[in-house]
Amino acid sequence: MKKWTIAAGAMMVASVLMMGCGKEEAQPVEIVEGVDKCDICHMEVANNQHATEIVLKDGKALKFDDIGCMYRWTNENGTEQVDVQFVRDYLSKEWVKSDQASYAYDESYKTPMGYGVYSFKEKTAAEVFVQEQQTGKVMSAQDLSNHSWESSMKKHKEEHGGGHNGDGQSGTHGANADANGSHTPSAETQGKHN
Q: pLDDT tens digit string along 126-149?
A: 999 999 999 999 999 999 988 988
User: What residues make up the domain containing 66?
Assistant: 25-162+175-188
Within a domain: 117? yes
Within a domain: 40? yes
Q: Is 28 helix (H, G, I), strand (E, B) or coil?
A: coil
Within a domain: 4? no
Nearest CA to 175 among 161, 189, 192, 160? 189
- Do residues 82 and 54 touch, judged by C-beta distance below 8 A? yes
What CA–CA distance (Å, rounded) separates 139 from 67?
13
**Comparison of pLDDT for 106 and 186, the residue scoring more:** 106
Residue 162 DSSP class:
-
The pTM of the full predicted model, rounded to 2 decimals, is: 0.70
What CA–CA distance (Å, rounded) separates 105 from 100?
16
Within a domain: 193? no
pLDDT at 117: 97
pLDDT at 2: 55
> How many domains does the chain contain in total?
1
Within a domain: 13? no
